[in-house]
Chain A
Amino acid sequence: MATSTLKKIVPENPAHIKAELLAKYPSKVARKRSKQIMINEAMENTTPEISANVRTTPGIITMRGCSYAGCKGVIMGPTRDVVNLVHGPIGCSFYAWLTRRNQTNAGADGENYMNYCFSTDMQDSDIIFGGEKKLEAAIQEAYDLFHPRSIAIFATCPVGLIGDDIHTVAKRMKEKLGDCNVFAFSCEGYKGVSQSAGHHIANNQIFRHIVGENDEVKPGKYKINLLGEYNIGGDGFEIDRILKKCGITNISTFSGNSTYDQFASCHTADLNAVMCHRSINYVADMLETKYGIPWVKVNFIGAAATAKSLRKIAGYFGEKELIDLVEAVIAEEMPDVEKAIADVRPRTQGKTAMMFLGGSRAHHYQELFKEMGMRVIAAGYEFAHRDDYEGRKVIPDLKVDADSRNIEEIEVFRDEAKYRERKTPEEIKALEDSGYKFKEYDGMAPDMEKDTLIIDDLNQYEAEKLVEMMKPDLFCGGIKEKYSIQKLGVPMKQLHSYDSGGPYAGFKGAINFYYEIDRLVNSKVWSYMKAPWQDNPQLSATYGWE
């Protein structure tokens, strides 16, 4: 087994590590960061809660991106039959072009614009005189070339500043074109404090402009929507494979491998299964209020978690046929999983990992590490809110600050024509009495060991310090963190894009993950950091050729 050249430091007291992380900061920054670093379950926390979804301090090298990235890149990126037209200078559209590894299956001749990059390529004259005319012309040109079902427009920073009214342009063009749904997102990069604002803006507009448009009843039984699954590395394909095998019909995934029509008919499903709580829990709430679809939290990351989630879905429908089939599928899939665990566990048992990711993955992936016998010693989110750490119980207490207030909340009412009660109040109560939990998410903190570190919006400096002090066997984050961590001799797994791997969801995904992590933490390369002459640099005598 490979050994790293870095010295393993004796396990440190987490309070000491926290103090070390803060030591170098100017006092104002230190005070702010202190509230975002929580020692799990420790009484000496300065606050009983973690500070999250707050501004990043200027000058600090953050992992975070912007609202546009969350809206165009994350939520709308994976929908293949919508022309995503970015209104702005060229960069924003360029950087979000095929860089997130969302896979899609359009078949041999289905509509698929995901490999394309569309932009109005705003010039200085557009900034000075306004870009609405150019936007309108670009929509017309896109329509004439492709005749798409829908064109979505995304605002970049200058668009909001110069006051281009993209929503009016969209409305006008929708009317003019007749058979193309044109709508817009005010997702300027300066909105909110992270990508999270963009997720919200995107989901609101999908809800407002597409959801509920198609009432056609799709064939199949046990209809669900999978919310907050983005088909990175084919995760959604694996989940769909399992659902299909179980006889569960996935009406719509928000938004991995998705199409316009899936969103349009999602209100015909009978249950919403929420994967990424952060990016989409509010959509689940809106779907429940407007159409009467209850929601549950699921997690298809981890074999045990997948089995648990399938049982949860089956339990909701409550039919023996489904429950039996789910059990049969689990029984069929698990032996391969267990075989893989037995194979890798001798090499992964006891190893440690850190995870700083998104708004759900830093929690979900702990399941997989547990299955491999690995310990997560520090974790945190890039753009989550307090409820993702501490559970939905804190939602009523969340402070709405200036940055959150700017992000629209849609007020939703029951749609009397389309609302359908999925379960009677008695049925719901019976389920709850038997321990079934709707709308529940307890957050990451309860699932982490005592005295582990939970850090919100980790930055490059803290990441480096943390790795030096705690010397994990593996660090998980994104592309920007990848190589600074690996330079330290510690393997780094990207869990936004999965490097080139995946799927990691479901049963087959779990097996992929075990072997991938096994490969990473046991790679020989980590033993090559020093050349032979660097280990023993002093020559005591000159050697001859004798």
Chain B
Amino acid sequence: MLLRHTPKEITERSALMINPAKTCQPIGAMYAALGIHGCLPHSHGSQGCCAYHRSALTRHYKEPVSASTSSFTEGSSVFGGQANMLQAIENIFAVYNPEIIACHTTCLSETIGDDLKQIRKKALTEGKIPEGKFMISASTPSYVGSHVTGFSNMVKSMVGLAEPTGKKNGKVNIIPGWVEPADMEEIKRITKMIGVKTILFPDTSGVLNGPLSGEFKMYPDGGVTVAELQSTGDSIGTLALGEWCSADAARELDTKHKVPCQILDMPFGLKATDRFIDALRTIAGVTVPDELSMERGQLVDMISDMHQYVYHKKVALVGDPDQVIAMTEFLVSIDMCPIHIVTGTPGKAFERRIKEITKDMPFPCNVRAKGDMFLLHQWIKNDPVDLLIGNTYCKYISRDEDIPLVRWGFPILDRQGHQYFPTVGYKGALRLLEKILNVIQDRKDRDDPESKFELVL
């Protein structure tokens, strides 16, 4: 057994986290920053932070992830990191020449109280940020929230670039949240189909799912441009997908520049996608094209065709709040029963949402925000499930307990496809359903006795 020391009996833990379902803020800030075109993310802390985040993102995407660090030493930790940061700014523009530096803090620089806004001002005064180049910063202490919080904080910093001209640009801002590059691409396909002009930020499509062509572009073609970010203050409205990932930035645009916003769930599954499309249609004042209704119908068709394989199957689900809320709704909507649900990110609102979504389920639902996978595993030992959905770390539970696993979330270190095939929208839901059915039916084919083995499923 891989997790052989995990006991079935659950004891309360107040201080020890085991097998976390979250990581720290800075990696989220780094991922978000990669969704700006021509941007070099910068980690203001020890070298290790930057190295770990780059490695984790690279293992997940199998793509280059360029980011720089302030390379703190013991001296800078005592005297403050301003000198390191100023030196870094100078070197970055000289050697790597990005359009923009997106800097985030770490627990180190936060604990000693480095103020990035003040350092940026000093850099500007000293002429270290060349004309036409930009620097944004986000405060991302690792000891608050999770990687999701860091993502949200960096996205909020992006809207700090907004410079309203007073003339509306006729576009809708869409903040997709921490979804895959393929999902961002899919959201753009859907909005284009409906005929809504959008500014999608951040946008990692074309950045973290790039081609192999014999050329290394340190700044790939994708990403939202600085000019687009500046224009977000002129947009007619903002759709923020996910309360945890995207709402803060949308509200900031609303408060500061009177760009009205609507906070929606991430469009995973049938109902969340319905709401997303409906919101888009309403804002843009257009009719939803038949092609999209066709995609929806195909999803409904597959749900009806395969309902017997998913009906009342028990599921354990772990991931980030926005994703897990939408996924829980999708599972419930196809009559599956997510009975154990964990996110590592704090937030009582998460537990309330999940309780609300699962209230009519025939089984009680265990839900925990700020939980960990050790607890999830113990719940599974006490009340087994038919399916596990989560990131790659779930495979240890999956193998020990012999439960089919659908990899979904971050990080996925051992399978491919998440970079290229979306799980948002109707097409994405179709893919999710396909993945769920595949593992359930593979299991059936493995376990059925020979006398009952069937060709047609």
Contacts and interface: CB of A to CB of B under 8 A. Distances in A.
Nearest to B112: A161
Interface stretch (B74-82, B222-230, B257-265): B74-82
B84 interface: yes
A6 B17 CA distance: 49
Given A65-B47, A95-B56, A403-B74, A123 B85 contact: no
Given A91-B49, A161-B111, A190 B74 contact: yes
Interface string A229-269: 00000000000000000000000000000000000000000
Interface in A173-190: 188-190
Interface stretch (A35-43, A54-62, A324-332, A428-436): A54-62
Given A58-B88, A116-B18, A479-B59, A68 B48 contact: yes
Interface in A485-525: 485-489, 525
A484 interface: yes
Interface string B10-32: 01011111111011111100000
A91 B18 CA distance: 13
B72 A190 contact: yes
Contacts of A96: 52
B20 to A, nearest CB: 5
Interface residues of B, number: 84
Interface string B91-109: 1101110000000001110
Contacts of A161: 77, 108, 111-112
B45 interface: yes
A476 B51 CA distance: 17
A157 B106 contact: yes
A57 B48 contact: no
Contacts of A62: 47, 51, 69, 71
A381 B23 CA distance: 30
A119 interface: yes
Interface stretch (A130-138, A205-213, A273-281, A301-309): A130-138
B143 A137 contact: no
Contacts of B89: 59
A484 to B, nearest CB: 4
Contacts of A77: none
A95 B52 contact: yes
A507 to B, nearest CB: 29
B94 A137 contact: no
Contacts of B84: 58
B15 A120 contact: yes
Given A58-B87, A189-B108, A464-B216, A123 B143 contact: yes
Contacts of B216: 464, 484-485, 487-488
Interface in A1-44: 4-6, 24-26, 29
Nearest to B48: A66
A69 B215 CA distance: 32
B58 A480 contact: yes
Contacts of A26: 90-91, 94
A224 to B, nearest CB: 31
B343 to A, nearest CB: 13
B55 interface: yes
Interface string A384-405: 0000000000000000001100
Contact of A141 (B15, B26, B111, B396): B15
B340 interface: no
A191 interface: yes
Given A69-B52, A90-B142, A157-B77, A118 B91 contact: no
A169 B68 CA distance: 35
Interface string B121-153: 000000000000000000001111011000000
A193 to B, nearest CB: 7
A438 interface: no
A91 B142 contact: yes
A95 B143 contact: no
B214 interface: yes
Interface in B192-238: 210, 212-218
B64 A57 contact: no
B53 to A, nearest CB: 8
Top 5 A-B residue pairs of the complex, sorted by shortest distance between their CB atoms? A66-B48, A91-B24, A59-B88, A59-B91, A189-B46
9 contacts: A56-B47, A89-B142, A90-B20, A91-B147, A95-B56, A190-B76, A402-B75, A461-B96, A529-B212
Interface of B: 2-5, 7, 11, 13-20, 22-27, 42, 45-49, 51-56, 58-59, 62-77, 84-85, 87-92, 94-96, 106-108, 111-112, 141-144, 146-147, 210, 212-218, 344, 374, 393, 396
